């Protein structure tokens, strides 16, 4: 531990996809001295790559409990990532659970922190799901466009951004709300999310398995690679708060791709063999949800703040194979 | 009571300015059979003008208490006006109180209603204070522009709109969130609000008293008369929900006037004598807040939905004298 290692960080939802990827990166960060990983499912500490001397603590805890939060969010923490949550499909199917976890437990943590750790840096991943369909499919969305959430998940995310903005304006906390694109390629099993295919049509074929494509090949999506998202979650920590004059909310960079372009990238990396494993099987319900999401963004604000652009799809696929391929998840 | 009198309505914050004006109008509404007026300060029932047979009940109650809300929001109610709240200046000065009343007690009522009165019509006055300053002073704000609240009051209003929108999308409630302009002329005493002068420079001179003008005469404000606001709060009840496809949020009509125009209207109604009672005494703090509010709106959405336009300022002043002048408030 060098003398600069002063960051004592907690990640909630650390057992999840983004949480694990972020933890992995923070383990190699010379500025970090302590890392608490917490999740309602026992989180594991990712393998260390380098000479990491970060002190890691894994805590299984349900953050809907106030007592649990009071124990976890100690005044010595100086960097908070609030990543736990109930994803869009499930929050739509189980409204009470989504409200309790996505809104109430996040609010509870913010209210606790403003008392015990006033001014602490809080990084919160919001989502482009705060937006409803754009005026026209080619309209590029900016932070100036109003969120009209089409799901309870999107509404809950937007409410938390609004709270964190107000708490930051008042100096209670030092928040940053980053609206992430759909993070692709996600390792592991297909999820219930309507966007699940955006990882599945890469992941399964590259693992030698069949994948279902439920939407038209002309359909567009707004995505970002896990490495770029993690990079930006860390950059958010280092951007001075003075750079956010009115709002801490930023639409993060991503790329707009059609399903056709995704399939081309799959072919380039996995060959014809991989491509043949994708089977078209249109599902109107899924297509309807995906079509309601905006897919084009003008991310000048993020670029001005210094956030990183996402790479081309083929690079993302190579990275996927490097980071997750061996594990054959 | 005719056979059409089927509305059993509750107004919260009914002791306040808008609540009293709305109650007064609903007392003359042949569709209304029962009216509950509730406020943390004992609300009084306005004088009846006509043959009103509405059954009125006045209840003093603090709506931050869950038990109190459970007693008040009975399943027989079929129209809910949530008008209680802590206004912008006070919510900025006393953050905990604003959060508790503006956010938590409103949320508590919505959550109670979706269980006991599923699908019930809920009319919620939001505010143009949800917006921060516009891109340029001449930009006309529409519902497509994103709220970036500059006060906790604005943030709390925007969070409640977002919740009510989601509850309405899911069919839990039938909400309508109306963003009111500054309602002018407000009777009674000056308030702590930065916008207080917008009523004071009419009210005090017309009552034979001196008024302080704390801002430049070139400054613009976005205002609406009490009668138009009440008319629109009632119209909101009668617009079919199918007319609100994506969102229940509407920027209500108002008028953009400069202070100079306000002074001209004062002179037209109250003569030179009244005008002379206005004393310029610039206050930079007040001016800064008022300058941060957008003053120009494109209210096409409200007009399409059938909401009423506001009249000219002179008519508003005449109405003020008719409605409140005799009381010399
Ligand atoms: N992955 C994406 O494409 C994407 C896009 C936009 C935003 N986000 C946001 O980023 C964050 C992380 O996303 P992810 O893909 O890693 O999600 P994930 O579902 O993989 O991880 C979320 C984690 O939260 C945990 N959790 C749920 N309820 C909890 C509770 N009561 N207490 C403690 N932990 C609880 C879950 O166990 C899970 O491990 C989420 O807030 C998500 O909304 C993700
Ligand atoms: N007047 C305006 O210019 C304007 C503009 C935009 C929006 N609005 C909104 O319209 C509504 C009515 O405005 P108004 O001008 O009549 O405000 P007001 O301050 O005159 O009335 C609000 C009432 O709420 C009551 N109240 C406060 N805390 C309470 C509690 N815990 N339990 C029960 N009652 C409580 C107060 O006693 C008061 O009578 C408010 O929600 C306000 O935010 C008003």
Q: Compare B3 and A8 and report the one with higher pLDDT.
A: A8
For position B256, what pLDDT does the model report? 97
Q: What is the CATH number of the domain that holds A59?
A: 3.40.50.720
| Prediction ipTM score | 0.95
pLDDT of B134 over the 80 cut: no
B277 in any annotated domain: no
Domain that holds residue B100: 7-180+226-246
pLDDT of B328 over the 80 cut: no
The proportion of chain B whose per-residue pLDDT surpasses 90, expressed as a percent, equals 86
B232 in any annotated domain: yes
How would you classify the pairing of strands B79-82 and B174-180?
unpaired
The proportion of chain A whose per-residue pLDDT surpasses 90, expressed as a percent, equals 86
Q: B55 vs chain A: nearest CA distance in angstroms?
A: 37
A277 in any annotated domain: no
pLDDT of B176 over the 90 cut: yes
Tell me the average pLDDT across B273-293.
91
pLDDT of A1 over the 50 cut: no
Among B44, B61, B84, B189, residue to substitute to test ligand 2 (most atoms within 8 Å of Cβ): B84
pLDDT of B2 over the 70 cut: no
Q: What is the CA radius of gyration of chain A?
A: 19
Number of folded domains in chain B?
A: 1
Of the listed ranges A78-87, A146-155, B49-58, B108-117, the least confidently predicted one is B49-58
A251 in any annotated domain: no
Task: Provide the Cα torsion A218, A223, A224, A225; round to 10°.
Answer: -60
The proportion of chain A whose per-residue pLDDT surpasses 70, expressed as a percent, equals 98
B136 in any annotated domain: yes
pLDDT, one tens digit per residue, over A119-139 is 999 999 999 999 987 777 788
For position B103, what pLDDT does the model report? 98
B290 in any annotated domain: no
Q: Within 6 Å (CB) of ligand 1, which residues are found?
A: A 13, 15-19, 39-41, 62-64, 83-87, 101, 105, 125, 127, 180, 182-183
The two tokens of residue A49 are 């790559």
The two tokens of residue B79 are 């129209």
pLDDT, one tens digit per residue, over B56-98 is 999 999 999 999 999 999 999 999 999 999 998 899 999 999 9
pLDDT of A81 over the 80 cut: yes
Distance A109 CA to ligand 2 centre (A): 29
B267 in any annotated domain: no
Enter the pTM of the model: 0.96
Strand blocks (E) in chain A: 7-12, 32-39, 55-60, 79-82, 121-127, 174-180, 182-183, 211-213, 220-224, 249-251, 255-258, 278-280
DSSP B15: T
B254 in any annotated domain: no
Query: Is the torsion defined by CA of B23, B170, B128, B250 positive or negative?
Result: negative
φ/ψ (deg, to 5) at B127: -150, 155
Q: Which residues in chain A touch residue B165, judged by CB atoms under 8 angstroms apart? A: 148-149, 155
pLDDT of B3 over the 70 cut: no
The two tokens of residue A302 are 């993020």
The two tokens of residue A282 are 């249109």
Where is A228: in which H helix or E strand? helix A226-238
Supply the mean pLDDT for chain A: 94
């Amino acid at each position: 531990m060098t003398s600069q290692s002063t960051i004592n960080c907690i990640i909630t939802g650390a057992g999840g996809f983004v949480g694990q990827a972020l933890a992995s990166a923070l383990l190699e960060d010379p500025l970090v001295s302590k890392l608490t990983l917490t999740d309602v499912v026992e989180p594991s500490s990712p393998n260390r790559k380098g000479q990491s001397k970060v002190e890691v603590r894994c805590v299984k805890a349900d953050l809907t409990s106030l007592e649990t939060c009071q124990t976890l969010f100690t005044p010595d923490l100086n960097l908070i990532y609030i990543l736990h949550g109930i994803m869009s499909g499930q929050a739509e199917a189980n409204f009470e659970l989504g409200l309790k976890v996505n809104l109430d437990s996040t609010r509870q943590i913010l209210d606790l922190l403003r008392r015990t750790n006033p001014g602490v840096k809080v990084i919160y991943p919001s989502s482009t799901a705060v937006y409803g369909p754009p005026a026209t499919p080619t309209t590029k969305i900016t932070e100036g466009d109003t969120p009209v959430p089409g799901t309870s998940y999107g509404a809950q995310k937007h409410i938390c951004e609004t709270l964190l903005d107000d708490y930051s304006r008042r100096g209670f906390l030092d928040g940053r709300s980053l609206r992430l694109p759909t993070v692709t390629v996600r390792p592991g099993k297909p999820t219930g999310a309507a966007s699940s295919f955006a990882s599945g049509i890469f992941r399964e074929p590259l693992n030698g398995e069949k994948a279902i494509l439920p939407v038209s090949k002309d359909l567009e999506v707004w995505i970002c690679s896990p490495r770029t998202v993690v990079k930006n979650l860390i950059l958010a920590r280092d951007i001075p708060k003075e750079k956010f004059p009115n709002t801490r909310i930023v639409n993060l960079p991503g790329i707009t791709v059609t399903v056709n372009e995704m399939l081309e990238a799959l072919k380039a990396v996995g060959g014809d063999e991989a491509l043949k494993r994708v089977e078209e099987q249109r599902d109107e319900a899924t297509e309807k949800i995906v079509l309601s999401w905006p897919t084009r963004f003008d991310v000048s604000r993020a670029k001005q703040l210094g956030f990183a652009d996402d790479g081309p799809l083929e690079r993302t696929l190579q990275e996927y194979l490097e980071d997750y391929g061996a594990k054959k998840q």
